[in-house]
Amino acid sequence: MSANFVALAYLTAAVLFILALKGLSSPISARRGNLFGMVGMGLAVLTTLTVTHNWKYILIAITVGGTVGAVIARRIEMTAMPELVAAMHSLVGLAAVLIAMAAFNNPLAYGIGATLHASNRIELFIGTFVGAITFTGSIIAFGKLSGKLGSKPLRFAGQHWLNLLLGVLMIAFGIAFFITQSWTPFLIMTAIAMLIGVLLIMPIGGADMPVVISMLNSYSGWAAAGIGFTLNNNMLIIAGSLVGSSGAILSYIMCRAMNRSFFNVILGGFGGAADAGADSGDGVQKVYRSGSADDAAFLMGNADSVIIVPGYGLAVARAQHAINEMSKALTAKGVKVRYAIHPVAGRMPGHMNVLLAEAEVPYEQVVEMDEINNEFADTDVVLVIGANDVVNPSAKNDKSSPIYGMPILDVYKARTVLVVKRSMATGYAGLDNELFYMDKTMMVFGDAKKVVEDIIKSLA
């Protein structure tokens, strides 16, 4: 097949990928968009297959990997999406490293020429170390998200200096590779990059995972683009850049939602913030009001409008379906029910929307923070369930609070606030929440699912 034909097929595939992302601007066009993406990928793979020799082995490899991927995609629980995404980032990273090694081993296979030009060597270096950092960093992120590693940040003195030293060493070996074109500096450089990946993600705490996962999403794209440069393959460059910028934008959105700079997250300093804040726990017992599920049902059943604020605690308690039943029961009584979603309500961007969609909550009822914040003041009852820091008013009015400046849902403006929680324990940031002590707030203690089920019974 002629090189021009291949290049045109790649161009078509790249356009289809852009359409796939464009489709996600609304849930209605999204499914068609995903189909475009699949067609684009199919076209790219088939076209490439015609220019390779070992197509039998390649087909076997695709079948094996594809089967594993398909089975995982079918079985994975929606609460485990962040882990899955992290695991997949690591695969892209490792694949990038392997391809770079293969390219170095046999440049002719890619039409680079028998020897590597100066620019090829630089591209190989960049593609490899981005891939290596993505690979190990994502494994650590996966470990933290799936609870295998513990989400506590791991820090030690001189950490940043160590990272800096390793970074300098990595570049030094990269230069050695550039000059000598031999395997030893190449492999050492790759190993150092892998170590950096581990050290970068280890110190980042559980609450910052939405940023980390978006960042690694971005890296996996840049790794693909880097390989595209090495292979002079425009489609890899385009697809990689799309993914890279997508991840970068998501990181930015997540940072903004937590009012933190990107560097602040990467260099650590949150997660273990209990030492900085939590000053209100100075022995004074504050007074709060608590009530039963029946009281909550009575209040909501007699309201005109109810806004539900779900947090990750809701998903942990597997109460999504129950909460949908509850809203149906309320709607049947003529109550206007909506859900308010904070951008960091789950473990990854948009996570809570997927969890609610899985429970068949109509997406018209699910409203983003910026759109619903003005409406809390006109709302009779707000039910906060499994959320804490994202409704903490001290982010607005307490300059000494570590979360000061973080955008929150203005739940405190509502006429009545119900909070479902296991206990008075603090949230991720380790902060006390003055919302719980307001006169109009009623605490309902217990497991989220149990409480919601009791409310449903009481409403019936």
Partner 1 sequence: MTGAVDPFVLNLTVFVLAIFIGYHVVWNVTPALHTPLMAVTNAISGIIIVGAMLAAGPEKFDIGTVLGLVAVTLAAVNVFGGFLVTQRMLDMFKKKNK
Q: State how far the Cα of 273 lies from the Cα of 432, in Å rounded to an integer.
A: 12
Evaluate whether 444 touches 382 at the Cβ level (below 8 Å): no
Q: Which of 137, 174, 343, 402 binds partner 1 (CB under 8 A)?
A: 343
Q: Which of 12, 146, 163, 241 binds partner 1 (CB under 8 A)?
A: 241
Q: State how far the Cα of 177 lies from the Cα of 181, in Å rounded to an integer.
A: 5
Is 282 a residue of the active site?
no
Other Cβ atoms closer than 10 A to 388? 22
Would you count residue 77 as binding partner 1 (CB under 8 A)? no
Nearer to partner 1, 105 or 400 (CB): 105
CA torsion 210-216-219-221 (nearest 10°) is -80
Would you count residue 68 as binding partner 1 (CB under 8 A)? yes
Minimum CB distance to partner 1, residue 230 (Å): 8
Per the structure block, which two tokens stand in for 346?
A: 């789950």
Nearer to partner 1, 222 or 270 (CB): 222
Nearest Cα neighbor of 189 from 198, 178, 199 is 178
Count of residues that bind partner 1 according to CB under 8 A: 115
Stretch in the footprint of partner 1 (CB under 8 A) among 160-168, 272-280, 354-362, 420-428:
354-362
Would you count residue 197 as binding partner 1 (CB under 8 A)? no
Would you count residue 419 as binding partner 1 (CB under 8 A)? no
Binding mask 10-49 for partner 1 (x = CB under 8 A): ---xx--xx-xxx-xxxxx-xx-xx--xx--x--xx--xx
Nearer to partner 1, 101 or 424 (CB): 101
**Looking only at residues 95 through 124 of this chain, which bind partner 1 when binding is defined by CB under 8 A?**
95-96, 98-99, 101-103, 105-106, 108-110, 119, 123
Give the DSSP H/E element, type plus range, for residue 21: helix 3-23
Minimum CB distance to partner 1, residue 203 (Å): 23
As beta bridge partners, residue 338 has 307
Minimum CB distance to partner 1, residue 338 (Å): 13
DSSP state letter for 290: B
Nearer to partner 1, 362 or 393 (CB): 362
Which listed residue (208, 389, 432, 454) is catalytic? 389
Would you count residue 400 as binding partner 1 (CB under 8 A)? no
Nearer to partner 1, 328 or 440 (CB): 328
Minimum CB distance to partner 1, residue 3 (Å): 13
Using a 10 angstrom Cβ sphere, with 0-12 exposed, 13-18 middle and 19 or more buried, the burial of residue 364 is: exposed
Nearer to partner 1, 72 or 168 (CB): 72
Contacts for 13 with CB less than 8 Å, ≥ 6 apart = 40, 41, 43, 44, 47, 235, 239
Give the DSSP H/E element, type plus range, for residue 383: strand 381-385
Q: What are phi and psi of 429, to 5 degrees?
A: -75, -5
Stretch in the footprint of partner 1 (CB under 8 A) among 78-86, 149-157, 312-320, 404-412:
78-86
Per the structure block, which two tokens stand in for 208?
A: 């910052």
Would you count residue 76 as binding partner 1 (CB under 8 A)? yes
Nearer to partner 1, 250 or 452 (CB): 250
Would you count residue 407 as binding partner 1 (CB under 8 A)? no
Contacts for 409 with CB less than 8 Å, ≥ 6 apart = 309, 340, 342, 369, 372, 373, 376, 390, 391
Would you count residue 240 as binding partner 1 (CB under 8 A)? yes
**Looking only at residues 253 through 282 of this chain, which bind partner 1 when binding is defined by CB under 8 A?**
253
**Looking only at residues 207 through 236 of this chain, which bind partner 1 when binding is defined by CB under 8 A?**
213-214, 217, 220-221, 223-225, 227-229, 231-236
What single-letter amino acid sits at 334?
G
Q: State how far the Cα of 341 lies from the Cα of 338, in Å rounded to an integer.
A: 10
Evaluate whether 438 touches 317 at the Cβ level (below 8 Å): no
What single-letter amino acid sits at 451?
V
Evaluate whether 256 touches 34 at the Cβ level (below 8 Å): no
Stretch in the footprint of partner 1 (CB under 8 A) among 81-89, 151-159, 267-275, 277-285:
81-89
Minimum CB distance to partner 1, residue 40 (Å): 8
Q: State how far the Cα of 235 lies from the Cα of 122, in Å rounded to an integer.
A: 20
Catalytic residues: 389
